[in-house]
Amino acid sequence: MDMNIRRPGQTPAISPGAKPWYKALADTARARYEGSLAKQLVTGLNDVNFGDRIIIFGASMLLSVLPLVVVLSAFANHHVDDDIAQHLGLSGAGDRVIEGLFRTPKVTFKLGILIGLLLSLAGTISVARSVQAIYERTFGQPPAKGMPNMSRCFIWVTVVTAVSIADTAIGKTLRDGPAGPFVIGLVEFAGFTLFFWWSMHYLLHGREPWSRLRPAAITTAVFWIGLGVFAAFYFSSSTVSDSNTYGPIGVTFDLVTWFIAMGAVLTLGATVGAVWQERRSRPVELTSGGSDPQG
């Protein structure tokens, strides 16, 4: 007599080697995740310590770069608040809040100012080194060391300053002219792509070919423009709201958020571009180097 005949209402027996359906589903999902685009992106972000990097970048920008820009702008009689308001996409009330925050009196050069400038400059170099470390980890390059590398970081900071000033001037010209948002976005996309492309190649000491860096430059430029669009919608209201709620310190919260978002854009752009390049080159590698060694 067959003892395995199932009676009505009886739960079917599970063979010892069979897996429950939820475990089989988890194994299938895990197998699909391995080698997927999502897996590569998560691994890449873990390799560069995404969370730590963007926090350090934001803090360094607030504590070093911003004070340096404010002091130098005061000596040059330049309104730094106009540049910040434009990059944040502010207008009207938000513009006036930033103007009140950065209302700087006449600055006289003295020992305290000199020490502050030197410390801020050192912190600014550390920001450049942080960006360089992101690119080194993303593309698997060893860390660059020594004074020549510090000089290279200083030159990069100088170029960034020039690009920022040029972007502000070009942005004002295009916005006041007949060019529409599409033309402005196209010009910014081309300019930022070239800038980030050069930045990666320069900070990596030319150890990565231009072709391998192109996808990362494109994705970083796209994310950077996306950050500008997001800032125009988000910070226009949050700057005024935080200023009314917390006073001047509330605007600082928005600036920290903006700086951290900038670090996220740089890190995400490099990581996504590196993964994009790797997945593009994989079929070529298999075709050129994947022949049967015994054939």
Each residue of 19-36: pLDDT tens digit? 676 566 666 666 676 767
Each residue of 249-289: pLDDT tens digit? 777 888 888 889 999 999 999 999 999 888 877 654 444 44
Each residue of 48-77: pLDDT tens digit? 888 888 998 888 888 877 777 766 666 555
> Percent of the chain beyond pLDDT 90?
22
Give the contacts of 214 (CB within 8 A, at least 6 positions apart).
197, 273, 277
What pTM, to 2 d.p., does this model score?
A: 0.77
Give the contacts of 122 (CB within 8 A, at least 6 positions apart).
64
| Of 13 and 66, more confident | 66
Q: Is residue 185 scored above 80 in pLDDT?
A: no
Q: Is residue 293 scored above 50 in pLDDT?
A: no
146 within a domain of the structure (yes/no): yes
Tell me the mean pLDDT in the region 192-204: 95
276 within a domain of the structure (yes/no): yes
87 within a domain of the structure (yes/no): yes
Dist CA 41 CA 273 (whole Å): 10
75 within a domain of the structure (yes/no): yes
Tell me the mean pLDDT in the region 90-104: 67
Helical H segments across the chain, by residue range: 21-33, 37-47, 50-60, 66-75, 80-87, 93-101, 111-138, 147-176, 181-203, 210-246, 248-289
Question: pLDDT grade, residue 290 (50/70/90)?
Answer: very low
Eight-state DSSP code of residue 110: -
Dist CA 50 CA 53 (whole Å): 5
Question: pLDDT grade, residue 134 (50/70/90)?
Answer: very high
| Of 37 and 223, more confident | 223
Contact 274, 139 (CB under 8 A): yes
| Domain span including residue 54 | 46-280
Q: What is the pLDDT of residue 201?
A: 96
Q: State the CB neighbour count (10 A cutoff) for residue 248.
A: 11
* Closest by Cα among 63, 75, 64, 179 to 122: 64
Eight-state DSSP code of residue 208: S
Q: Is residue 246 scored above 80 in pLDDT?
A: no
Question: pLDDT grade, residue 230 (50/70/90)?
Answer: confident
Q: Is residue 192 scored above 80 in pLDDT?
A: yes
Q: What is the pLDDT of residue 77?
A: 56
218 within a domain of the structure (yes/no): yes
Dist CA 134 CA 141 (whole Å): 10
Contact 80, 71 (CB under 8 A): no
15 within a domain of the structure (yes/no): no
Q: Is residue 6 scored above 60 in pLDDT?
A: no
How high is the mean pLDDT of the chain? 77
- Tokens coding 96: 């006036």
Q: What is the DSSP string of 226-246?
A: HHHHHHHHHHHHHHHHHHHHH
- Looking at the 3D structure of the chain, how many domains does it have? 1
292 within a domain of the structure (yes/no): no
Q: Per mean pLDDT, which range of 75-84, 106-115, 203-212, 282-291 is the poorest?
A: 282-291
Q: Cα torsion at 236, 174, 61, 222 (round to 10°)?
A: 90
- Tokens coding 57: 């970048």
How far, in Å, are 36, 47, 57, 193, 289 from residue 275 at the CA level? 11, 12, 22, 17, 20
295 within a domain of the structure (yes/no): no
